[in-house]
Structure 1
């Protein structure tokens, strides 16, 4: 049985990489962010199409599949509209602005209706499930004849060395799809397992053998702060001379992870788009006096250590790469999604 997938909102290809690991043939990735093109095509070995999903037709996507293949359509519609973190800062957003932010989910539903793939999967933040836009998305798929299921999934249960909870949705033309059983529920991959073999570097240093193994420079005060922070600790380890004014306020006590170091023997915290700065969360290396490097962030997202994000002649843009890596679907979670789809289609074929 030939199974082929097209990946909408593909980014640098975390979900596509997971599909390929499980043996699903990825035909193309579609995204508006042209800076993802090199990484996607180099590592996924599939075409990256710089297209606006809102301007795509079902016919455009149908022609990407082989005529005799089982068609899988996957995607991670941009999650910022549904995020608890970003939602706090949009109190003055108009209804029209909000509608635009949710539009990609509606476009995803439209494309599914036009393509009629055998299987659909979507990954997003768990809070998406409380929004009317998501309820409408599910209703449209069910009206189109799909059996829809969705659930919260802990990425660390599937070999991702990171505490990351996501919503995974499946829709099938045949029967409900069950998520594959956890592989690491009782033995999570730790920060030590993931990154301890990478060579030590200093803050601001670029490793000669891997230019993505670089961390942001730190000023003298922040160097003193990270040196005063124990493994797994935070700003609460410092004396008052190093603390910021906000830390001394009652509300500052809630930001326990800011300027924190990771624990060696636990999964990392969520790798966000701000993961290269020690002031943005618990992104300090467990023992080296610096924030995690770009390569370490990628490995904690379960990208292979040799995943190529930047062309050889291209300058390394730390902020752009942090955004791409933080927004990606963890590869191992993508692999679990793919295994679930393969098992489902195999069972359907046998029956």
Structure 2
């Protein structure tokens, strides 16, 4: 598989750990994220070709030519082309303040920006796909991609690929329904060539009973992070024994390292003003529940919130290092979650290292990624389609 707009590699990591896919190429405009991408794939035996920088500076044929040393530059040789074009142009996560006719203040979502140039990156992705004509194509994005402009984006994707002999379907999946301890909704578009067996969407494995079938319980924050060792004052790296706390959580055991303490588990104590807001919060409270003297002029809905031990996390975003950007407070300790805790909530194992000395950059890598456990569920089904 080739992973375009790969970031740190959450999507392709989930595919690789099924044992069915070899990651042969990764692209991203963030060269440091690609270093993390390569480092972790190399640990599992892959040696992907890296293409850093803005891929729009390459013709799709030139990008395909990068696979020539592997004999995969010919049409139809690649099994899977996957990627998540940057979603900021579709995302409506931010809110702004308006004043209604009766003089009241109200927070509303920002309108979709149809002029955002990042909205066109999916077209470059499609052009590359039409040059390579892989057996399957996977696109990941925010849910608004399938609803924005009356569904025009996915309709264009379907028309474009149908002309080249692909059948296309799309769904919005909740990561918590597939064993990820996070209520994260993402849109996926899957296309398979007409000569490939039809793709079937994975069924939910976690959640309430569906169609008479009993599913496993949703994985909670406690099951995900309570066994981690104490957070440290500085990065200690992967050394020494692991010092995990006792747990009966199967999820936690599946995330643990067999060799050493995890990286990126550094305690973050916020400034006094932010800390005062956090101390006033209890799990389940939102920013509007803060006392009036602690409220801000504008805020995200879940700003300064605490995670609940007995619920899945809210969406982990690329600003998960900042308490003012969402529900990123530790359930009981007066601090934000560490980047390792954020990674656990995204279903990255403790052996997955994020190589950056900048905490905001690590947060961006973690929060922008596709949860690997969710990616694995899709990988199994795509592999079945390719196998026929």
Determine if the alignment matches structure 1 residue 201 to structure 2 residue 231. yes
Counterpart among 76, 83, 102 of residue 75 in structure 1: 83
For residues 16 and 88 of structure 2, what CA distance do their matches in structure 1 show? 27
Distance 1:107 1:236 in 2: 41
Q: CA deviation at 1:324?
A: 1.3
Q: 1:154: Cα distance to partner? A: 0.8
SS at match of 1:25: coil
Equivalent residue number for residue 260 of structure 1: 305
Higher alpha-carbon deviation: 67-76 or 122-131 = 67-76
Q: Assess if the C-alpha contact under 8 Å between 2:302 and 2:326 holds in 1.
A: yes
- 1:320 corresponding residue in structure 2: 361
Q: Is the 8 A contact 2:77 2:134 kept in 1?
A: no
**TM-score using structure 2 length:** 0.77
Deviations along 1:56-103, whole A, 9 cap, x unmatched?
Answer: 42342553655696621111111111111259787696x6x43x2222
Q: 1:141-187 CA deviation, whole Å, 9 max, x = no partner?
A: 11111010111111111111100111111111124311122222341
More helix by share: 1
- Post-superposition offset of 1:289: 0.8
Q: Shift of the alpha carbon at 1:38?
A: 2.0
Aligned to 1:12: 8
The count of aligned residue pairs is: 327
Q: Which moved more, 1:31-40 or 1:176-185?
A: 176-185
| CA–CA separation in structure 1 for the residues paired with 2:112 and 2:218 | 41
Determine the structure 2 residue equivalent to 1:25: 22
Unaligned runs of at least 5 residues, structure 2: 43-47, 97-108, 208-214, 237-260
Post-superposition offset of 1:277: 1.6
Distance 1:291 1:337 in 2: 31
**Structure-to-structure mapping, 1:184-223, within 5 angstroms:** 184-185=206-207, 186=215, 187-201=217-231, 205-206=233-234, 208=236, 210=262, 212-223=264-275
Decide which of 32, 53, 56 is 2:55's aligned counterpart: 53
Which of 88, 91, 105 pairs up with 2:122? 105
For residue 198 of structure 2, the aligned residue among 163, 173, 176 is: 176
The match for 1:244 among 292, 295, 305 is 295
Residue 302 (str. 1) matches residue 347 (str. 2): yes
Give the Cα–Cα distance (whole angstroms) in 2 for the partners of residues 137 and 323 of structure 1.
Answer: 27
Q: Write out per-residue CA displacement over residues 123-145 of structure 1, whole angstroms, 9 at most, x where no aligned residue.
A: 11111113434322221011111
CA offsets, 1:249-268, max 9 Å, x none? xxx7xx55221100111110
Q: Which moved more, 1:60-69 or 1:207-216?
A: 60-69
In the alignment, the residues of structure 1 paired with residue 155 and residue 66 of structure 2 have an alpha-carbon distance, to the nearest angstrom, of 25
8 Å CA contact retained: 2:79, 2:386? no
Contact 2:92 2:112 in 1 (8 A): no
Note if 1:116 corresponds to 2:138. Answer: no
Deviation at 1:48, TM superposition (A): 2.5
Paired residues of 1:148 and 1:172 also in contact (CA < 8 A)? yes
CA RMSD of aligned residues (A): 2.6
Secondary structure class of the residue paired with 2:264: strand
2:181 aligned with 1:161: yes
**Change in 2 beyond 3 A, CA 1:64/1:155:** farther
1:340: how far off?
Answer: 1.0
Deviation at 1:245, TM superposition (A): 4.8
The answer to whether the 8 A contact 1:62-1:115 is kept is no
SS class of match (1:104)? helix
Return closer, same or farther for 1:211/1:61 CA change in 2, 3 Å cut-off: closer
Question: 1:70–1:210: structure 2 CA closer, same or farther, 3 Å change rule?
Answer: closer
